[in-house]
């Protein structure tokens, strides 16, 4: 098989791939000099490991039988017309994403940003800061989503005795099922954590009115997709004027966030720069998942993590 | 009753006290001009709410029948000879302390400090940082202590599927019972969290050799007492030379930590400046606890949270 790899792999990951699929040929995009060579190599390949850009290259990659994305999200590949099977990383990033959400929220509640700045200034004023600190215990949390990330977050929050309500249209675990119900529930929430995938239905789901419905000390956290917000500027203004307690944003409308963007200057705001899924073993896991699926593919066994484009997740 | 109050209370807390004990007289130390007036007032009082310094003032305060400390720790009051009953805040600070510990550890694992610094620089480099991030999930944690803070931390860590072992000499929940066993257990720990009270037995308990026994990526966290470390400099050096993964220190040998102290400059180190117990409602809770105990005191009912000087916690 000819396998095209479009992923930022280190040499050790490439060696693992080669050792795990000795009879196959790998072409690594980052080893080819120009875009035209890269595109040509993709068009010849039987299998693709990675998330190529531009996505349009895939339109003519008719030899591809299987595409293993290294992401969980696949919204950019939804309109591919070629008949390849597409698999993704499903639950793989859920735990690090959940931990990034909780880390950000606890940072705000326990003053981590302030203490980091004070450390640089070598200034000990803990007794002044401590009356402003909050605890996560017993907080009322609304989670937008009922998938893998939501479940991980829910489990962690149970350790803090939080009251948790899930918003999802169809999941049996969700108690908030419509946007009308969500709007009604928001004023009681101390924290709203969004971990929805990027679909046509989630785009712009969280409206300006919903931001206005948040409590004065509520935290809005998004580890899903930046386009969940119908009006990101409304969030920026709420933060800037301290009309809400703070935000933890792993994702934003525009990524990377350009210098000068107002979100950089918002107080009580954690920007984790779409690192939510990251971990030291990130690419080891991706390579292991690919090799497992490759063995299944060759043996005619159903692949793991096949993407359901009709469902959107 | 004449009640002397030596605690940093806001006007609203003083009003709550006055309303809750209408027949009693309060003297607030911070309303008296000089040290001699303050000391004299204390010597006349029947009841003390607070943690007066210098502690020696208490030696002659023979009228005192009951002392309500606003701290959980009482090591400074151990040698008081007067026959007053002493109560403390017991479990009151456990949850915020536990959350400060977890917030600090998650900060290190999820890069919160780096992202805070990058926000100031308006620089988006999440893809560079993400391969260095770690997760708390499945980590091996040794907790030094088996009291209230330890229990809260344990509960939170269960939500992250951590493997947890407690060190305590007598608690039935502890599986590590001696310092020899502790030394043997340390090399397997990803995280060590100290939440021991300040007693003669815990002073210097964590030795230079124990610091040397830690893994290269281990995190040492202390939300107990700074004098737990026999040799704080050994920790500083381990951090400075990156021989361990990092530290979360709510307490240090010297507090406040003076400018120029080497701990300020240690990498991968969170200094939360003894704010661990802090929360927005801190003094509301202290006042409420005092008033509850005051009613019990007047009615001859046993007080809550009586300090057992013999046990040291």
Over the stretch B77-112, which tens digit does the pLDDT of each residue have?
888 888 899 999 999 999 999 999 999 999 999 999
A203 with A62, same domain?
Answer: no
Q: How far apart are CA B296 and CA A277, in angstroms?
A: 53
Substitution target from A116, A138, A267, A274 for chain B, most B beta carbons within 10 A: A116
Cα of A118 to nearest chain B Cα, Å: 9
B9 and B74 share a domain? yes
Q: Looking at the structure, tell me whether residues B165 and B37 fall in a common domain.
A: no
| Chain A hits for B273, Cβ within 8 Å | 115, 118, 124-127, 129
Query: Which residues, other chains included, contact B81 with Cβ-Cβ below 8 Å and sequence gap of 6+?
Result: B59
B138 and B248, same domain (yes or no): yes
Do the domain assignments include residue B313?
no
Residue closest to A269 by CA, chosen among A298, A241, A229: A241
Q: What is the pLDDT of residue A81?
A: 83
Cα torsion angle, A27, A30, A32, A36, sign: positive
What is the arithmetic mean of pLDDT over A112-131? Answer: 95
Instruction: Specify whether B247 is located in the same domain as B193.
Output: yes
- One domain, residues B84 and B112: no
Distance (Å) from the alpha carbon of B303 to chain A's nearest alpha carbon: 27
B262 is a domain residue: yes
According to DSSP, residue A152 is labeled H
Which residues in chain B have their CB less than 8 angstroms from residue A136's CB? Answer: 99
Write out the H or E segment, with its range, that includes residue B286.
helix B282-298
Do A108 and A257 belong to one domain?
Answer: yes
CA nearest to B284 within chain A: A131
Q: Are A107 and B112 a contacting pair at CB < 8 A? A: yes
Contact at CB, B264 and A119, closer than 8 angstroms = yes
The verdict on residue B230 lying in a domain is yes
Cα nearest neighbour of A8 on chain B: B127
Residue A83's pLDDT band (cuts 50, 70, 90):
confident
What six digits make up the tokens of A204?
Answer: 């712009």
Q: What is the pLDDT of residue B313?
A: 64
Structure confidence at residue A210 (pLDDT) = 98
A313: in domain: no
CA A234/CA A212 separation, integer angstroms: 8
Q: Collect all residues with Cβ–Cβ distance below 8 Å to B184 and sequence separation of at least 6.
A: none
Select from B129, B135, B280 the Cβ nearest to the Cβ of A133: B280
Two tokens, residue A210: 């919903």
B172 belongs to a structural domain: yes
CA dist., res. B107 & res. B97, Å (int) = 15
pLDDT at A115: 96
Residue-level pLDDT, tens digit, chain B, 313 residues: 999 999 999 999 999 999 999 899 999 999 999 999 999 999 999 999 999 999 999 999 999 999 999 999 998 888 888 889 999 999 999 999 999 999 999 999 999 999 999 999 999 999 999 999 999 999 999 999 999 999 999 999 999 999 999 999 999 999 999 999 999 999 999 999 999 999 999 999 999 999 999 999 999 999 999 999 999 999 999 999 999 999 999 999 999 999 999 999 999 999 999 999 999 999 999 999 999 999 999 999 999 999 988 776 6
Which pair of structure tokens corresponds to residue A304? 């793991």
B156 lies in a domain?
yes
**Number of structural domains found in chain A:** 2
Question: Cβ–Cβ of A112/B273 closer than 8 Å?
Answer: no
The residue of chain B nearest to residue A285, with distances taken between CA atoms, is B131
Are A6 and A50 contained in the same domain? yes
Whether the predicted pLDDT of A119 surpasses 90: yes
pLDDT confidence of A313, banded at 50, 70, 90? Answer: low
> Is residue A124 domain-shared with residue A253, that is, in the same domain?
yes
Residue A310 has pLDDT above 80, yes or no: no
Of A95, A126, A283, the CB nearest to B275: A126
Give yes or no: residues B153 and B294 share one domain. Answer: no
Measured distance CA(A120)–CA(B14) in Å, rounded: 36
Bridge partners of residue B166, in order along the sequence: B143
Scanning chain A, the segments in alpha helix (DSSP H) are 11-20, 35-44, 94-110, 112-121, 126-129, 148-158, 179-185, 208-212, 232-240, 282-298
DSSP A206: B
pLDDT, tens digit, 9 for 90 and up, residues A255-282 = 999 999 999 999 999 999 999 999 999 9
Residues A76, A188 within the same domain? no
Do B50 and B141 share a domain, yes or no?
no
Give the span between the Cα atoms of B156 and B140, in whole angstroms.
Answer: 14
Range of the domain at A60: 2-92+279-298
Is residue B37 assigned to a domain?
A: yes
Distance CA A181, CA A175 (A): 9
Cβ count near B75 (within 10 Å) = 18
Is A154 domain-assigned?
Answer: yes
A71: tokens are: 């992401």
CATH number of the domain encompassing residue A178? 3.40.50.720
């Amino acid at each position: 098989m000819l396998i095209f790899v479009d992923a930022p792999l280190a040499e050790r990951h490439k060696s693992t791939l080669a050792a795990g699929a000795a009879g196959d040929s790998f072409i690594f995009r980052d080893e080819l000099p120009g875009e035209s060579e890269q595109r040509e190599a993709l068009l010849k390949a039987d299998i693709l490991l990675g998330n190529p850009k531009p996505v349009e290259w895939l339109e003519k990659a008719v030899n591809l039988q299987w595409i293993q994305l290294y992401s969980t999200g696949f919204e950019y590949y939804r309109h591919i017309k070629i008949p390849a099977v597409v698999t993704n990383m499903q639950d793989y990033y859920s735990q690090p994403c959940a931990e990034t959400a909780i880390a950000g929220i606890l940072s705000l509640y326990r003053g981590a940003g302030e203490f980091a700045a004070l450390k640089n200034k070598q200034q000990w004023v803990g007794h002044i800061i401590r009356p402003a600190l909050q605890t996560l215990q017993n907080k009322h949390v609304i989670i937008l989503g009922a998938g893998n990330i939501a479940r991980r977050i829910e489990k962690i929050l149970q350790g803090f005795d939080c009251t948790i309500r899930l918003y999802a249209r169809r999941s049996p675990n969700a108690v908030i099922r419509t946007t009308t119900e969500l709007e009604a529930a928001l004023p009681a929430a101390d924290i709203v954590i969004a971990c929805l995938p990027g679909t046509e239905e989630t785009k712009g789901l969280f409206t300006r009115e919903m931001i206005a419905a948040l409590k004065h000390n509520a935290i809005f956290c998004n580890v899903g997709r930046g386009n969940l917000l119908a009006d990101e500027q409304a969030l920026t203004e709420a933060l800037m004027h301290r009309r809400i307690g703070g935000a933890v944003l792993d994702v934003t409308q525009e990524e990377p966030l350009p210098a000068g963007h107002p979100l950089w200057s918002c107080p009580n705001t954690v920007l984790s720069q779409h690192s939510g899924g990251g971990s030291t073993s990130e690419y080891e896991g991706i390579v292991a998942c690919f090799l497992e699926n490759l063995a299944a593919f060759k043996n005619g066994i159903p692949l793991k993590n096949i993407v359901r484009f009709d469902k959107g997740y």
